[in-house]
Structure 1
Amino acid sequence: MTITLNPTVEEIRKIIFQLPIQDQIFLKEQLEEKLETLQMMQLAETGFTEWNDPEEDIYNE
């Protein structure tokens, strides 16, 4: 199988499924951790919306 510079999800899936099960488990854990962190960061952003007040931009001038 040839790996392209911009592989599709299907190509990546096929490569992953060829890995030993322990490597697949490791990748799954790493992906879950990354996604959980991303979701937490996105959720945290909603708590800071009051800081996006255009009137406060006067201090940037």
Structure 2
Amino acid sequence: MYVLKESIGTKLRLMRFAKNITQKEVAEKLGININTVSAYENDKIKHEIGLVKRFIKLYNE
């Protein structure tokens, strides 16, 4: 049986799309670099739980 699992980065990207905001807007609201937003969404760096929680909080506003 094949199970498709979305990565944390993919889930963050989909949440951002659902909120209809840009990576730049996310970066500005969280006080981080736009490259960090991109790296998180593309699973290029280790996901720190504290920052992931901040992303989720922003997307649930």
> TM-score with structure 2 length normalisation?
0.28
Structure with bigger helix share is: 1
Structure number with greater CO (CA < 8 Å, separation at least 6) is 2
When Rg is computed on C-alpha atoms for both structures, the one with the higher figure is: 1
